[in-house]
Each structure stands twice: as structure tokens, then as C-alpha cells.
Amino acid sequence: MEEKKLAIEVRNVQKVYKLYDKPSDRMKEAFGFGKKINHRLHYALNNVNMKIYQGETVGIIGTNGSGKSTILKIITGVLNPTAGEVRVDGRISALLELGAGFNMEYSGLENVYLNGTMIGFSEKEIEARLPEILDFADIGDYVYQPVKTYSSGMFVRLAFAVAINIEPEILIVDEALSVGDVFFQAKCYHKFEEFKKQGKTIVFVSHDLSSISKYCDRVYLLNKGNILGEGSPKEMIDIYKRVLVGQYEIPEKSGVNLAHDAELRAAAAGQKQGKNPETLEYGDKKATIEAFYLTDDRGLRTNAVVKGREFTIHMRVRINAHIPGPIFAYSIKNVMGTEITGTNTMLEKAFLESAEAGEVKDITFTQRMTLQGGEYLLSLGVTGYHGDTFEVYHRLYDVLNITVVSDKNTVGFYDMESKVVVR
């Protein structure tokens, strides 16, 4: 049996940043003023080891701030590690920061030649690839116009087309397959599949768990700069979901740096419940929302919900004056501010009574999560009618962040849960 050849080897890599409370502390330490060390260490990566073999597609997943983009930048040489080493065997094309090398004053065509030259191609080699690049970008005569006149969509299309059509041996992808409209994304994924069939090595970072599951042979799971595990996509995605909803215990013998351990365990336990410090609130306070939180299908507090599972929104409301018929409500919007769904006790015919001063009401809304994977914002309210006049007693806008964890996203805001049969 032929031994597999390594394309990328990451050995004991650390990336440590010094964090300062104020800029003057950095200056004092740099010039040796005083004996006190005015910084604290932040481990963006801590003793990371990876082996990626030629022809493999390997995924890297983890929460925001876990070190995914940092390890890719170290592999591609954009960043240097604080300790450890990386060995790469093969020519890399990195889809990290699309268009980072573009000159905004140059035309699209001039930027194609500029980027090709920077990668190491001759003018004749770029010319040979030009028809394929322009066909892939599909921006027409705009290619002769200065890049500064492009829309953001045209810009990323051209940048992606240049990066993807230089015949690399190793492709490094950081969320880049989500650029452009749905038709361009389909074209990108088709090219991605071509690369796999050609036996090229691919390292793929994405929050889209369905893509990780579909394309990857193996997956590394990062959390707060540490590798929590490595294995099949299904196994690692399952652990990742448990990390997100605070149901994963980090093994005691995990090789985690002890100084870093408390921060890591706090994150894995889901202790930050997604509360917004800049919540907008208003109302006449005849009733006040005193407490609110989410629980998952196991009854554990969290702000991460697995798609397809049941979850509950909790509100505790104190009644401060006689209210003929209080209405308790919630709504969910996406990060762009579009209100997607919501309900209230009047619509649900769940509470149609009056309430008196001094009473405390505990309200729960329990439902199954059918929204697509992503980030959402929860708003809460207590309102009512005085005669024909609508009154707002207390509203909290965008009070909690909800993360929906999904390994299958369909089109649009929510899943129709279709049962599909092909005969």
C-alpha cells in the first residue's frame, strides 16, 4: 500500500498576542520604562498540530474567535507563528481576503495581470488563462473599467475568478464560497467539486456545516485556539453542536494550556448568553420585563439552538398597575433587521385576562426551530389596549442574540421540511 504524502504539516504552532489596556502601556514596555509587565497574553493558537495529506479535503470548524482564520494565514505565510513550524509541499492558492492585492485605480483586466504576476505567472501564462478567468467572473465590459467603479458583487466575482483559475496544487478557502448571488455560488461550488475530482488538496473553513459535511474527508474542530478533536465530518459536527449549546465537557487531559483553561471552559459551557448591552427599550412601565432567557430541548440555558430541535423563550414580567388585558410578545429578526417571525399571547389565545399591580407573570413560548442556520436577534414586549388605544408598557428590542446551528440549510428564511421522493 502506497504511503500517503503530506501536503501540509502543522507542528506545535502557537500564535500569542500581547494585549494592553492602553497604547501608552505598549510604549512603556517597548522602551523598558518601569519593571511592571503591562500586558496580558492572548493565545490565538495554542500548540496546534495538523496533518493534511495530498488529495484530501480537510475542514476546519469552530466558533468565532477559535483561531480558524489565524491558522490559515499561518499556513499561507501571511502570518508568522510565535512558536512551532509549518511545512507545505505544493503551490497554494488562498481564498482568504478576496481582492486584497487589487489596485482600485487599475481596470479589472490590469488587476488580473497584476495578481497573476504576484502569484508568479508570466504574462504569456496569464494570457492563456484569461478567457477562463473572464468567463468565470462574467462581468462583461466592466473588466475594462477601474475597479473602484465596481459594485461589491462584481469586485468579489473578479477576485474569486483570478484566485480559482491559477491551477494550484493546494487550495485554501476561508468562507469564500458564499460570495455573490446564488447562481455565482453554484458556479463556485461546481469548480470546488472539479478540484476534488482532480485530486487537489483543499483546506476549507466554513460556518456552513452542510458544505463541511458534503465535501470534507476529515475535519478539525478548534475552540479558543485549541484543537478539541479531529475525525469524520459527522463526528466533529456533532461535538461542535454540543460546544455551541454548552453541552460539551472538555477532557481533563486535552493538552490545554492551564493559564488558558478557564477561558476555554467558560466558552464551552456557554456562559455568555448572548445579551445585547445596547438594547433599545421604551414604554410607560405599567409592566416591566424583569428577566428573559432561552433554554434548549434539555432545559439548559443557552443562546445557541440546533435546527430541528425544540427551544423555549422565557420572560418574567412584573405588573405595576391594573392592566385590562396584557399582551406578552416576542419577535425574531435577522441581523439586517428584517422581522422574520414572532407571536404573542393574544394571537395564541393563551392569556386573555386582566392583571393587577404586584403580580408577577412567568411566560414561556415553546416551539421547534425551523429557521436556517445563522445569527438572529430576539425582541420582547408587553403591550395592551386601553379602550381602542394601543399602549406599550415595556419593549426590549434586539435583547438577545440567537445562534441557529444547522447542517442543512434550504432556500430562504426557514425550512419547509419537505419530504422528498425520487423514483
Q: What is the pLDDT of residues 227-259, one digit of tens each?
A: 999 999 988 988 887 787 666 665 554 444 434
Provide the grid cell at 25: 502601556
Please, what is the average pLDDT of the chain? 84
Task: Say yes or no: 37 and 178 in one domain.
Answer: yes
pLDDT at position 219 over 80? yes
Residue 316 lies in a domain: yes
The region of weakest confidence among 68-72, 96-100, 165-169, 342-346 is: 96-100
Task: Say yes or no: 295 and 182 in one domain.
Answer: no
**CATH classification at residue 54:** 3.40.50.300
Q: What is the pLDDT of residue 407?
A: 80
pLDDT at position 270 over 60? no
Q: Which residue segment(s) compose the domain that 68 sits in?
A: 6-91+168-244
Residue 143 lies in a domain: no
Task: Say yes or no: 204 and 352 in one domain.
Answer: no
Other residues' Cβ atoms within 10 Å of the Cβ of residue 259 = 11
Identify whether the C-beta of residue 83 lies closer than 8 Å to the C-beta of residue 14: yes
On the CB side of 53, how many CA atoms lie within 13 Å of its CA? 8
Residue 139 lies in a domain: no
Task: Say yes or no: 398 and 353 in one domain.
Answer: yes
Residue 40 pLDDT grade (very low, low, confident, very high; cuts 50, 70, 90) = confident
| Domains in the chain, number | 2
Q: Select from 133, 204, 118, 139 the least CA-distant residue to 167.
A: 133
Q: What is the pLDDT of residue 194?
A: 85
**Alpha helical stretches, state H, 120-151:** 123-137
Q: What is the pLDDT of residue 250?
A: 59
Residue 183 lies in a domain: yes
Task: Say yes or no: 391 and 321 in one domain.
Answer: yes
pLDDT at position 9 over 90? yes
Highest mean pLDDT among 34-38, 181-185, 363-367: 363-367
Reported as a single tens digit per residue, the pLDDT across 273-295 is 566 777 788 999 999 999 999 99
Q: What is the pLDDT of residue 291?
A: 94
Task: Say yes or no: 294 and 363 in one domain.
Answer: yes
Task: Say yes or no: 59 and 199 in one domain.
Answer: yes
Q: What is the pLDDT of residue 295?
A: 93
Q: How far apart are CA 265 and CA 269, in angstroms?
A: 6
Task: Say yes or no: 220 and 79 in one domain.
Answer: yes
Q: Read off the pLDDT of each residue in 114-127 and give the average, rounded to a whole number.
A: 82
Residue 312 lies in a domain: yes
Regarding predicted confidence, which is higher, 422 or 242?
422
Q: What is the pLDDT of residue 253?
A: 45
Q: What is the pLDDT of residue 262?
A: 45
pLDDT at position 394 over 90? yes
- In the 8-state DSSP scheme, what is residue 249? P
Beta-carbon contacts of residue 71 (< 8 Å; ≥ 6 apart): 10, 13, 45, 48, 50, 60, 222
DSSP string, 189-219: HHHHHHHHHTT-EEEEE-S-HHHHHHH-SEE
Identify whether the C-beta of residue 209 lies closer than 8 Å to the C-beta of residue 64: no
pLDDT at position 333 over 50? yes
Task: Say yes or no: 230 and 304 in one domain.
Answer: no
Task: For cell 424583569, name the residue.
Answer: 290
**CATH classification at residue 337:** 2.70.50.60
Q: How far apart are CA 368 and CA 292, in angstroms?
A: 19
Task: Say yes or no: 14 and 81 in one domain.
Answer: yes
Identify whether the C-beta of residue 365 lies closer than 8 Å to the C-beta of residue 351: no
Task: Say yes or no: 217 and 317 in one domain.
Answer: no
Residue 202 lies in a domain: yes
Residue 345 lies in a domain: yes
Identify whether the C-beta of residue 381 lies closer than 8 Å to the C-beta of residue 392: yes
Q: What is the pLDDT of residue 256?
A: 44
Residue 387 lies in a domain: yes
Task: Say yes or no: 216 and 313 in one domain.
Answer: no
pTM of the model: 0.68
Other residues' Cβ atoms within 10 Å of the Cβ of residue 308 = 16
Q: What is the pLDDT of residue 35?
A: 61
pLDDT at position 23 over 90? no
Q: Read off the pLDDT of each residue in 207-236 and give the average, rounded to a whole number.
A: 89
pLDDT at position 176 over 80? no
Q: What is the pLDDT of residue 240?
A: 87
Q: What is the pLDDT of residue 95?
A: 72
What 228-233 contacts at long range (C-beta under 8 Å, 24+ apart), as own/partner pairs, is 228/254, 230/50, 233/59
